[in-house]
């Protein structure tokens, strides 16, 4: 009567051994089947290499930040101001200036002859000379601001906390100065153009052109001059926005540096008392 239970116990023990052996095989099978353990350090190395690749490609992300995009747009609007200045000078210089560039022959395309033709040429040259300060002052003005804006764009290829503080302050002062100066420059340019268009020379030229059917050559502010003023005001707005963003960046960098100093101070503070903490832990455990 006592033997069957013993046999059952033996079978149970054997089955338990088999189960344990199967569990051990299952646990050890991944170690045997694939070379999984040797790949662990490779995965870690791959994870460590990822930030390096991001760090190499992060220059564009810093340049294309909000400050960088605003400065890039300012470079483009400065270029548009330059193009519109040249176009305005060419349009308002009259037919004789276009003929001198080789566009057409003034004697064959004009309905003017004799003294009227000579008067148109003289009036066109006078208007060009009167408008010369506007273009000779506007071209270097827009070129200088576009070049400086481009320099600040290229210089912002680093995180703000790694950039020199003088560079951020310089960008802030430049954009604030550019916003004010561009508004003043647009006002002076329009005042200068309206003054030139209000002279007797412009009125006489308008009458000569209108007598022969060229009514578009008038003494009003041309579309190219209006475009110069428009893009100039847009540039001033961009510089204002850039100055505000730079102020926020300077404040953020200041807070970041203060927080980093505080964290470093917190790290060094427990190291100065390394023995007191374990002694208190031992007394509390006892």
pLDDT at 195 over 60: yes
pLDDT attached to residue 149: 95
DSSP 88-129: HHHHHT-HHHHHHTTS--HHHH-S--THHHHHHHHHHHHHHH
Is the dihedral angle over the CA atoms 246, 252, 256, 259 positive or is it negative?
A: positive
How does 100-139 read in b/e, with b if 16+ C-beta sit within 10 Å?
eeeeeebeeebebeeeebeebbebbebbbebbeebbeebe
Q: How would residue 98 be classed by pLDDT, with cut points 50, 70 and 90? A: low
Does an H or E element contain 142, and which? helix 115-155
- The better pLDDT of the pair 237, 117 is held by 237
Using an 8 Å Cβ cutoff, are 213 and 186 in contact? no
Instruction: Determine the Cα–Cα distance for residues 271 and 276; give it in Å rounded to an integer.
Output: 10
Rg (CA), the chain: 39
Q: What is the pLDDT of residues 109-131, one digit of tens each?
A: 556 667 777 888 888 889 999 99
Using an 8 Å Cβ cutoff, are 212 and 119 in contact? no
Question: What tokens were used for 267?
Answer: 């790290």
Using an 8 Å Cβ cutoff, are 236 and 230 in contact? no
Question: What tokens were used for 256?
Answer: 């970041």
pTM across the whole model: 0.68
pLDDT at 156 over 70: yes
**Which of 78-92, 119-133, 256-270 bottoms out in mean pLDDT, i.e. has the lowest?**
256-270
Instruction: Determine the Cα–Cα distance for residues 88 and 221; give it in Å rounded to an integer.
Output: 10
Q: What is the pLDDT of residues 168-194, one digit of tens each?
A: 899 999 999 999 999 999 999 999 999
Q: What is the pLDDT of residues 12-62, one digit of tens each?
A: 555 555 555 555 555 544 444 444 444 444 444 444 444 444 444 455 666
Q: How many CB atoms lie within 10 A of CB 153?
A: 20
pLDDT attached to residue 64: 78
Using an 8 Å Cβ cutoff, are 79 and 150 in contact? no
Question: What tokens were used for 174?
Answer: 């430049």
**Which of 36-45, 165-174, 223-232, 243-252 bottoms out in mean pLDDT, i.e. has the lowest?**
36-45
Question: What tokens were used for 45?
Answer: 């190395």
Local structure of 135: helix, strand or coil? helix
pLDDT attached to residue 177: 96
């Amino acid at each position: 009567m006592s033997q069957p239970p013993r046999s059952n116990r033996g079978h149970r023990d054997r089955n338990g051994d088999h189960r344990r052996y199967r569990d051990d095989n299952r646990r050890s099978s991944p170690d045997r089947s694939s070379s999984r353990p040797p790949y662990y350090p490779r995965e870690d190395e791959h994870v460590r290499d990822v930030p390096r690749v991001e760090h190499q490609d992060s220059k564009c992300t810093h340049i294309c930040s909000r400050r960088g995009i605003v400065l890039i747009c300012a470079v483009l609007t400065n270029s548009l101001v330059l193009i519109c200045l040249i176009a305005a000078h060419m349009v308002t210089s009259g037919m004789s200036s276009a003929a001198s560039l080789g566009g057409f022959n003034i004697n064959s395309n004009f309905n003017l002859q004799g003294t009227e033709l000579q008067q148109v040429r003289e009036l066109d040259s006078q208007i060009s000379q009167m408008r010369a300060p506007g273009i000779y002052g506007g071209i270097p003005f827009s070129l200088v601001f576009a070049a400086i804006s481009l320099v600040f764009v290229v210089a912002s290829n680093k995180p703000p906390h790694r950039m020199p503080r003088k560079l951020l302050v310089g960008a802030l002062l430049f954009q604030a100065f550019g916003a004010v100066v561009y508004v003043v420059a647009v006002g002076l340019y329009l005042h200068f153009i309206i003054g030139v268009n209000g002279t007797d020379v412009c009125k006489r030229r308008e009458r000569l052109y209108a007598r022969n059917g060229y009514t578009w050559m008038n003494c009003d502010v041309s579309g190219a001059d209006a475009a110069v003023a428009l893009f100039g005001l847009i540039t001033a707005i961009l510089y204002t926005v850039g100055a505000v963003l730079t102020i926020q960046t300077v404040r953020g960098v200041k807070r970041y540096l203060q927080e980093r100093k505080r964290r470093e101070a917190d790290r060094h503070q427990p190291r100065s008392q390394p023995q007191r903490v374990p002694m208190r832990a031992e007394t509390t455990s006892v």
